[in-house]
Structure 1
Amino acid sequence: MQRIEHRACSGGWQDVYQHRSEVLDCEMKFAVYLPPQAATQKLPVLYWLSGLTCNEQNFITKAGAQRYAAEHGIILVAPDTSPRGDEVADAEGYDLGKGAGFYLNATQEPWARHYRMHDYIVEELPALIEAHFPASDARGISGHSMGGHGALVLALRNPGRYRSVSAFSPIVAPSQVPWGEKAFSAYLGTDRSAWAQWDATELVATATERLPLLVDQGDADEFLGGQLQPQRLQAACEAADHPLQLRLQPGYDHSYYFIASFIGDHIAHHAKAL
């Protein structure tokens, strides 16, 4: 790994690293915030998954999360949203290809070679973090929009892997909305039965772990009715008796202004479990 950014922040260090990912078969970047407590002890880690068009920079520059991570003694790790590089397949538009990995393992060509973000986030990246930083194996996961989908799905698919999960404005039912239908058709093929394993509303029904879900959603979100539809997750959790705290926040949209307003609540939620 090579450290390419190193900045003092809230008593700790906001760094960015570049490394070769064996899982994704390309060069990747990830951001890691080390709070001041990391100088003397191992700390739990909160993984943040960003949304469409984003990379490792959006969360660390816009959310203001470092001050809360320093308060609670939590390492923050923010990976990129997709594989990168000239050799990586891409597509027209913002909602497929680079910047739109959807945190799944693609099975269809030309995507299958590089688009294995599930395995990267769940296995390869934590192994690097826990080997090279003062990080314990206590993990939480959170994210926004496409990354909120990723946080919910990765936690539900991997019982015991995470101690806490939360999401802002998540795509809760990607197999039933345009963003997910486009991405899943390309990455996974047209057989909709294969989509269910990457859809939080489907996974809740068979979850073997009752990890409480914290979801914040702005009621002025421009994507609320067409792409996000949190009521689908609420109905699925009620049917499965899965613990869900869904908070509809009046006046908030899909932007990082929303995330910055409530990220302190989310980090406190994770700190309690971690």
Structure 2
Amino acid sequence: MKRFDGTMLACDMDGTLLDSDRQISDANIQALRYFTAEGGLFSLATGRAYAAVTDYIDLLPMNAPYSLLNGSLILDAQNRVLNCAGMPKQTPILIDQVLTAFPRVGCEVFLPDRILVCRMSAETEHHMRVLHLAYDYVSVTELPSPTDWCQINFTGQASEVEPVRTFLTQFEDSFHAVCTMPTFCEVTRRGVSKGAAMMQIAADCNVSCNKIYAVGDSDNDLSMLKNAAISFVPGNAAPDMLRHAAVRVRDNDHDAIAHVIEYLEKHHNV
């Protein structure tokens, strides 16, 4: 029996697996290779779209399904779509209301294989440029059916985005909104989260609840941390996130994931 048979690690990317230069350290890669060689399942869990993770996939020992766009899209280890959550049919109306109420806020719409921009903001322009994301510019009336959407993202300065999140609370029966950074408000169908995707992946892989581990640093990781048998948070996370950590590990610039696996090596019960 291998050291980590029957276990799964759900791992956030930005601020966790990636360092401040958006790179994966050699120590993190080697640790993940050891974890998977010893039978562990590695499941990436990120708010990024597929086009924004392709540069990293070949570096990682992908041996389990993983989630993108805050759990709204699940792919298998061969990058094939297993599940797209979709959005409620009234989502275009929601977008129109937000863009009318907040005329300086940008809007991005994510489908499994494409990105649509309904309004450009400086933050959306930066997002697309820095991550080298291709997109199509469309009006709200030109949007396709939301049943095939994964997520929408409202962007702007922090002083503009926080009121958007407050505005969206009136729709919380149908939608879930989270601000992973001050300039982004990411919206999915209610019930969709990284944590829900993690639990679905674990069930499909026959991983028991007491063998699920999760590591993350942001609000969109909370659902994972709360459902994991052991929750890890890197030292660079905000103080309100650190209180959700069963174990605080080194920051993302000092091999946080290698530290997670070092801990599991010492404390995981075979």
Establish whether TM, by shorter chain, passes 0.5.
Answer: no
Q: Comparing both chains, which one has the higher relative contact order based on Cα–Cα distances under 8 Å and sequence gaps of 6 or more?
A: 2
Measured against the shorter chain, the TM-score band is 0.3 to 0.5
The structure whose Rg is larger is 2
State TM-score, norm by structure 1. 0.39
